[in-house]
Structures are given as C-alpha cells and as structure tokens.
C-alpha cells in the first residue's frame, strides 16, 4: 500500500487494521515478530471465550450453599435473641441503653415478630412448598439474619433509583409556583430579611445573585415544619415519602402522619448521635443513619458519610433549620460534590463557594440545596410563613405602648425611629414619623394588609381541604381518620441523653432515678 511515497504493509490482527512504517518493519523483522506479508489472525477463539456464559455450579452445591446460609442465619438469630434478652432485662431493671443497644433490641424484636407468620409454613404439612412463592411476593417475610448479600445490593440499587426519580419529581413540582406578591411585608427585622431575600431571588435584571450562609439560615428559620408539611400537595407528599424509604399509601393525612412520625424519630436520633459522637458509630450504623436521613451513603467513603452526617447535625441542632426543609434540600444534594452545579441555568450562587476545604464545599452544597428549596417553595407555604412573620410584630408593638403610658416618664413630642436599617430603594425614602394622625393611619393600613393576607391564606386552606375531600371521595376504599397529633416544632420536653459508649462500663451499675 502506497502512503506518502512509502510502501506500508497492512497487518490485520484481531479484526483491526494497523499501519507500520519501514523502520518499524525492519526492526520487527530482525526480532522475528512480524513480516511484511499480510497475516490473518482468527478471532473465533477469543470471541468464543468472551461469549461463553459462566457455568452454574452443580445442583447439590447450590443446595448445600442455601442450607448453610439458612443454618447460619438461624444461629445468628438465636445469638441475637440471647443478647437482646439480656438487654431487655437491663432495660426493665431501669438501666439506660445506648443507641447501639436500643437499635439491637428493636431489630431483634422485629425479627421475632416476623417469625410468627413464618412459623405457619413449618407447622402446616407440605406448606413449605409454597415458601418460595410467599418469599417472592413478600420479600420481608424472613428475619433480617436470613438476608443475603445479593439481596442487600439489590435493595441498595433500588433505593438509589427510587430516590433519583423522586428527587426529580420533587424538583419539578416545587418549581411549578412562583412568588410574586410582596404587598404585605412590614418593616421589622424579620420582615426586612424575608422581603429582601425573595425580592433578591426574583430580580430578573440581575445576572448573578449571591447569598451568604447567614441570609439563607435566617430565612429558613422563619419556616416551620408543620407549616411546610401541611401545605404540600399529594404528589409532593408521595415523592417525599418514597425518598424517606416509606411506603406511600392512604390519604394525605396518613402520608403526613407517616412523615411526621419518621421525622420525629430522626430528631430524637439526632440528639443521641450528637451526644455520643459520630466516631462511635460503626460503618454499618453510619450507613443506616445516612440512609434514613436521605443522605448519599452508597458508593462514597466513610469520611464523606461522616461529613454528611456532621453537617446534617450542625444545621438541624445548632442552626435550627427545619427538618422538612432539610429533607427537601437532600433531594438537591443527593448527587454529592461530583455532580457540580445543582440546577442548570440557575443564577443563584453561594458567596463562600471558593473555599478549597472539602467539608466547607460540602457545607456550601447543603446551603445551596436549602436555597433552591426556598426559591421554589409553593405559594400556600409561602403565604402562611409570610402571615406568621407579619403577626410576629404584635408582641414587639405592645412593649413601646406600655412605655408611653408610664406616668413616671415625661410625655412629649417624640420621634419614632425604625428598629433596623431601612431597605434601600431607588425611589423611596424613610422619614421619621412625628404626627400622631400619621401613625394611626399607618397602623390602620398595616392591619388592613394583615387582614387581607389572612383572608387569602384562609381561602387557600379552604381550597386545599376541598381538594383533599374530593380526592378521598374518588377512592373506593374508605379509610378511618387518623389522629395526627405529632408536632415537629414544639419540642420543649426535657430529655435525658443516654450514656455515651465510652462511659457504659463505668455507669453500668447506676440506675436511673
């Protein structure tokens, strides 16, 4: 073959055409590696080796493997029952259990309750023939000690797939509504922060908008768990339940009750983990803690799981971010730092996003997720939160009125100064009010604005109730009403933390008072 004035032979090897120069040919001829002639190499042997399916082990070997698996699972179950019996006696006597001990006792009790329907296949003659069919229909029928590695891997992959789908659904449903009404915002500190935040988000003229962690934190604290959860639609509730590994069935009230109950357990578990320390958790316990909170736990290192859990505890317990917002923000941060930008085409940025530390970058990622949740919050949630912020000034206004009515202080012509710095606008200026008639007129207009906002919120709540009733009528099965008396916001009951793991041996003989 003539190429650029030089003859180059064609060598066909493994169905690929390779070109060699004359110098390479001479050197390869000396080493007896290749010649100038065309050589054809058959690829049938390699293809046959690649395409041959893996031979299954013999039937007797597979039967022995399954028998050994169930024998070892039965031994492990008996050993766990023995340990949990001692823990139960310890708990009845009044001793305190650590988090690991309480989880061990709870898991073993669940396995024992699963043995009740499983025992029917052993008692009834020839019922064990239907056991594979029952396990196919009800995979959680067996205790956790009989679960194989392949079943665990399939559950993990299925959980990741479900969370990716539900996170996309939550993103789409949250971004349906836009917040454009700001007429009822007043001028105290919380209202100014609330106003500036959402005004800044929906400013179409700005190319990039920067937020600090403090701004996002203050606005997120103005929302309440029950307020956000009560105003989410049914598709959002179902997606949120799937993301939290819950089975979404029943009416909207049942879904809210399930989510509240799960979040209540997570809140109590947060306090215990924060007290005992993240380093006291094993790898499996760390994985389960991250999975229950919607954090990425599969395919990541142990240190990254610890960083995710530590940021969750800091934002939940110290920064007082609502749990519902944390779960919704986890749908944005589920991909981790490898995904880069959270939302394509977004003009929202975190101010401290250039810090090279991995923990700080992960913290920016979580704040970015909370920012995107706040920027796409539904209208009913926004209006209820705005009403709570508007009514928060009533307590602050009673104290200046009592001070003016005090006869010990001289009463005269006073000037009213704003509580915080005024909002910077291009065409408006804030002048101190000196006329009493002007102050009364301002109070009347503010009351009118608040009443209008209350009326708007009541109408929205009435529409939501009507929609839920219509959805309930369409269902063929009648469901009993459930008493949802769980509150995620009011948790003032004093809790006694458990004994840390490193102190259990010292305090093992001390009873609770």
- Output the pLDDT for position 313: 92
| Torsion angle defined by CA atoms of residues 17, 20, 26 and 28, in that order, rounded to the nearest 10 degrees | -50
- pLDDT for res 158: 75
Average of per-residue pLDDT across 491-495: 52
Identify which has the larger pLDDT, 376 or 69.
69
Q: 270, 312 in Cβ contact below 8 A? A: yes
Share of the chain above pLDDT 70, in %: 52
Compute the average pLDDT of residues 37-64.
Answer: 60
| C-alpha atoms less than 13 angstroms from C-alpha of 459 in its C-beta half-sphere | 7
pLDDT of residue 481: 56
pLDDT band with cut points at 50, 70 and 90 for residue 119: confident
Pair 326, 315: CB distance under 8 Å: yes
What is the DSSP code string of 112-164? HHHHHHHHHHHHSTTGGGGHHHHHHH-TTSS-GGG--HHHHHHHHHHHHHHHH
Residue 117 has pLDDT above 70, yes or no: yes
Helix (H, G, I), strand (E, B) or coil at 215: helix
The token pair at 334 is 């589920």
Q: Would you say residue 269 has pLDDT above 70?
A: yes
- The pLDDT, as a whole number, for residue 386 is 62
Q: What is the mean pLDDT of the chain?
A: 67
Strands 209-211 and 16-19: unpaired
- φ, ψ at 336 (rounded to 5°): 85, -165
3-state DSSP call for residue 16?
strand
Burial 322-337 (b: 16+ CB within 10 A, else e): bbbbbbbbbbbbbeee
pLDDT > 60? residue 176: no
Query: Phi, psi (5° rounding) for residue 3?
Result: -135, 115
Highest mean pLDDT of the ranges 8-22, 132-146, 200-214, 360-374: 360-374
Residues 60, 31 contacting (CB under 8 angstroms): no
Half-sphere exposure of 100 (CA within 13 A, CB side): 17
Q: Are 74 and 142 in contact (CB under 8 A)?
A: no
Residue 441 confidence (pLDDT) above 80: no
Q: Which of 85-99, 429-443, 466-480 has the lowest mean pLDDT?
A: 429-443
Gap between the Cα atoms of 418 and 188, Å rounded: 8
Which of 138-147, 190-199, 308-317, 346-355 has the weakest average pLDDT?
346-355
- Any idea what the Cα angle at residue 339 is, between residues 336 and 240, rounded to 5°? 55
Digit-coded pLDDT (tens) for 220-235: 887 788 877 887 888 8
189 pLDDT above the threshold of 70: no
CA separation for the pair 169, 240 (Å, rounded): 9
Residue 210: per-residue pLDDT:
76
Give the angle 9-13-18 at the CA atoms, nearest 5°: 40
Tell me which of 36-40, 76-80, 307-311, 448-452 is least confident.
Answer: 36-40
* Whether the predicted pLDDT of 439 surpasses 80: no
Look at residue 327 and give its three-state secondary structure.
helix
Average pLDDT on 452-460 reads 65
Residue 96 clears pLDDT 50, i.e. is over it: yes
Query: Bridge partners of 13?
Result: 16
Q: From residue 177, give the alpha-carbon distance in Å to each of 10, 205, 375, 467.
A: 65, 20, 10, 17
Question: If you average pLDDT over residues 442-446, what whole number do you get?
Answer: 49
Q: Which residue has the higher pLDDT, 236 or 406?
A: 236
- Model pLDDT, residue 173: 57
Among candidates 322, 73, 330, 375, which has minimal Cα distance to 201? 375
**Could you give the 3-state DSSP secondary structure of residue 25?**
helix
Q: Is the pLDDT of residue 99 over 70?
A: yes
Residue 301: alpha-carbon gap to chain centroid: 18
Phi-psi region of 320 (alpha: psi -120 to 50; beta: other; left: phi over 0): left
* pLDDT value, residue 242: 83
How confident is the model at residue 150, as a pLDDT? Answer: 78
Q: To which residue do tokens 């009834």 refer?
A: 124
Pick 20 or 190 by higher pLDDT.
Answer: 190
Relative to beta strand 10-13, strand 16-19 is antiparallel
Residue 417 has pLDDT above 50, yes or no: no
Say which residues have a Cβ less than 8 Å from residue 120's Cβ, sequence separation at least 6: 127
Which is it for strands 6-7 and 2-3: parallel, antiparallel or unpaired? antiparallel
**Integer Cα distance of 490 and 89 in angstroms:** 33
Short-list 299, 304, 314, CA closest to 362: 304
| 130 compared with 5, residue with greater pLDDT | 130
Residues 6+ apart with CB under 8 A from 304: 296, 336, 362
What is the mean pLDDT of the segment spanning 174-180?
43
Confidence of residue 237 (pLDDT cuts 50, 70, 90): confident
Model pLDDT for residues 320-375, shown as the tens digit of each residue = 888 888 888 887 777 666 554 444 444 455 555 444 577 888 888 888 888 888 77
Contact 146, 70 (CB under 8 A): yes
| 272 vs 402, more confident | 272
Q: Which residues contact 13 (CB under 8 A, 6 or more apart)?
A: 39, 41
Give the DSSP letter string of 259-313: HHHHHHHHHHHHHHHHHH-GGGS-HHHHHHHHHHTT---SSS-HHHHHHHHHHHH
pTM above 0.75, yes or no: no
The sign one gets for the Cα dihedral 199, 201, 206, 208 is positive
Lowest average pLDDT, out of 225-229, 270-274, 377-381, goes to: 377-381
- Kindly provide the residue ranges of all beta strands, DSSP E only, lying in 172-255, ordered along the sequence: 209-211
């Amino acid at each position: 073959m003539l190429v650029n004035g030089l003859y180059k032979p064609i060598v066909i090897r493994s169905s690929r055409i390779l070109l060699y120069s004359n110098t390479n040919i001479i050197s390869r001829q000396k080493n007896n590696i290749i010649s100038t002639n065309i050589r054809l190499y058959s690829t049938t042997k390699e293809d046959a080796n690649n395409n041959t399916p893996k031979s299954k082990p013999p039937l007797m070997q597979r039967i022995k493997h399954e028998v050994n698996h169930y024998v070892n699972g039965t031994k492990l179950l008996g050993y766990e029952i023995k340990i949990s019996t001692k823990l139960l006696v310890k708990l009845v006597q009044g001793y305190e259990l650590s988090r690991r001990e309480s989880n061990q006792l709870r898991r073993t009790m669940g396995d024992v309750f699963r043995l009740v329907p499983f025992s029917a296949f052993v008692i009834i003659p020839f019922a064990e023939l239907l056991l594979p069919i029952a396990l196919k229909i009800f995979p959680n029928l067996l205790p956790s000690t009989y679960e194989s590695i392949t079943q665990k891997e399939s559950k993990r992959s299925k959980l990741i797939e479900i969370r990716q789908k539900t996170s996309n659904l939550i993103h789409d449903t949250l971004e349906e509504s836009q917040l454009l009404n700001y007429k009822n915002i007043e001028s105290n500190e919380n209202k100014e922060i609330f106003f500036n935040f959402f005004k800044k988000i929906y400013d179409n003229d700005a190319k990039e908008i920067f937020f600090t962690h403090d701004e996002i934190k203050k606005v997120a604290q103005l929302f309440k768990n029950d307020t956000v959860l009560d105003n989410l639609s049914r598709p959002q509730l179902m997606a949120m339940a799937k993301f939290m590994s819950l089975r979404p069935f029943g009416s909207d009230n049942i879904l809210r009750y399930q989510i509240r109950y799960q979040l209540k357990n997570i809140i109590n578990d947060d306090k215990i983990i924060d007290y005992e320390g993240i380093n006291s958790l094993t790898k499996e316990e760390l994985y389960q803690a991250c999975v229950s909170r919607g954090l990425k736990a599969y395919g990541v290192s142990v240190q990254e799981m610890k960083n995710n859990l530590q940021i969750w505890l800091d934002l939940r317990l110290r920064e007082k971010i609502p749990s519902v917002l944390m779960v919704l923000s986890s749908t944005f941060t589920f991909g981790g730092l490898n995904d880069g930008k959270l939302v394509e085409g977004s003009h929202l940025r975190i101010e401290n996003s250039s810090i090279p530390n991995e923990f700080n970058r992960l913290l920016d990622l979580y704040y970015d997720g909370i920012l995107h949740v706040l920027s796409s919050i539904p209208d009913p949630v926004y209006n209820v939160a705005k009403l709570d912020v508007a009514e928060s000034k009533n307590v602050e206004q009673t104290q200046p009125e009592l001070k003016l009515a005090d006869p010990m202080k001289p009463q005269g012509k006073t000037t009213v100064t704003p509580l915080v710095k005024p909002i910077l606008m291009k065409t408006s200026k804030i002048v101190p009010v000196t006329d009493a008639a002007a102050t009364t007129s301002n109070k009347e207009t503010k009351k009118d604005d608040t009443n209008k906002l209350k009326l708007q919120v009541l109408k929205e709540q009435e529409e939501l109730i009507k929609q839920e009733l219509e959805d309930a009528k369409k269902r063929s099965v009648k469901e009993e009403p459930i008493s949802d008396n769980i509150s995620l916001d009011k948790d003032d009951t004093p809790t006694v933390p458990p004994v840390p793991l490193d102190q259990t041996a010292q305090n093992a003989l001390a009873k609770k008072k």
